[in-house]
């Protein structure tokens, strides 16, 4: 595959990631935080820290760095709206989770171990959002568009990582993309149910 196409796929992934985060940011500003998971969005911020470090020190990739750094202001706004100071138990559990699944594997097995760990984390961190969508009567604060964009973003990252032979990142994004698609579909179902009430 041509290096130009691979690079373009990476920048498309960066753009779609920003679109996804901006869509959720707008939804929260407009409709509030009903159905939005603090645990999921806190972990998104921590995951961005990991991917930035990986982009700088592991893959030496501007696309990987931009894929996280551009999202931080939007993600931090969403987390702030969810009042993390009122849920310190969630914050502590989030830090411990990231230490266990990302930092420790990186220390023990290097960047490849850390990337597999963060892939598992990125997949698992969508579970609180899925649980929130299952439990919530309304999911007005959840942007299905953001989650569909996130799934599409993962598809472009797959092309980028395949072209650069970064297999740990490839498989991590494959599982993440499937989890994002599941959240998107469930959010869509909730929005349709909400319109019928």
In the prediction, which pLDDT does 126 show?
Answer: 84
Predicted model pTM: 0.83
Alpha-carbon radius of gyration of the chain? 16
Give the mean model confidence (pLDDT) for residues 86-103: 94
Assign residue 136 a region (left: φ > 0; alpha: ψ between -120 and 50; beta: otherwise).
beta
The residue ranking higher by pLDDT, 35 or 116, is: 116
Residue 146: give the domain boundaries. Answer: 3-196
In the prediction, which pLDDT does 131 show?
Answer: 85
Distance CA 83, CA 42 (A): 11
Instruction: Tell which residue, 68, 65, 26, 22, has the closest CA to residue 44.
Output: 68
Give the mean model confidence (pLDDT) for residues 7-25: 92
**Residue 107, both tokens:** 């220390």
The per-residue b/e assignment along 8-20, b for 16 or more CB within 10 angstroms, e otherwise, is: bbbebbbbbbbbb
Confidence bin at 52 (pLDDT 50/70/90): very high
DSSP the chain: --HHHHHHHHHHHHHHHHHHHHHHHHHHHHH-STT--HHHHHHHHHHHHHHHHIIIIIS--HHHHHHHHTTHHHHHHHHHHT-GGG-HHHHHHHHHHHIIIIIHHHHHHHHHHHHHHHHHHHHHTHHHHHHHHHH-S--TT--HHHHHHHHHHHHHHHHHHHHTT-HHHHHHHHHHHHHHHHHHHHHHHHHHHHHH-
Distance CA 50, CA 81 (A): 23
Give the mean model confidence (pLDDT) for residues 43-65: 94
Domain count along the chain: 1
- For 50, how many CA atoms within 13 A lie in the half-sphere containing its CB? 31
Q: What is the pLDDT of residues 110-156, one digit of tens each?
A: 999 999 999 998 898 888 888 888 887 677 778 888 889 889 999 99
């Amino acid at each position: 595959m041509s290096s130009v196409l691979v690079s373009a796929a990476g920048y498309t992934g960066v753009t779609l990631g920003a679109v996804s985060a901006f869509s959720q940011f707008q939804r929260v500003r407009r409709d509030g935080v009903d159905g939005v998971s603090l645990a999921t969005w806190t972990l998104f911020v921590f995951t961005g820290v990991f991917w930035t470090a990986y982009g700088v020190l592991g893959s030496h990739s501007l696309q990987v760095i931009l894929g996280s750094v551009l999202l931080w202001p939007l993600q931090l706004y969403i987390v702030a709206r969810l009042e993390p100071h009122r849920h310190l138990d969630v914050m502590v559990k989030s830090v411990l989770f990231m230490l266990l699944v990302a930092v420790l594997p990186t220390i023990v097995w290097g960047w490849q171990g850390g990337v597999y760990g963060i892939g598992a984390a990125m997949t698992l961190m969508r579970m609180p959002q899925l649980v929130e969508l299952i439990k919530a009567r309304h999911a007005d604060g959840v942007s299905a568009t953001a989650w569909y964009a996130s799934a599409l973003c993962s598809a472009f990252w797959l092309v980028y990582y395949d072209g650069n032979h970064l297999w740990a990142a490839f498989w991590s994004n494959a599982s993440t993309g499937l989890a994002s698609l599941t959240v998107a579909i469930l959010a869509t179902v909730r929005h349709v149910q909400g319109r019928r009430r």
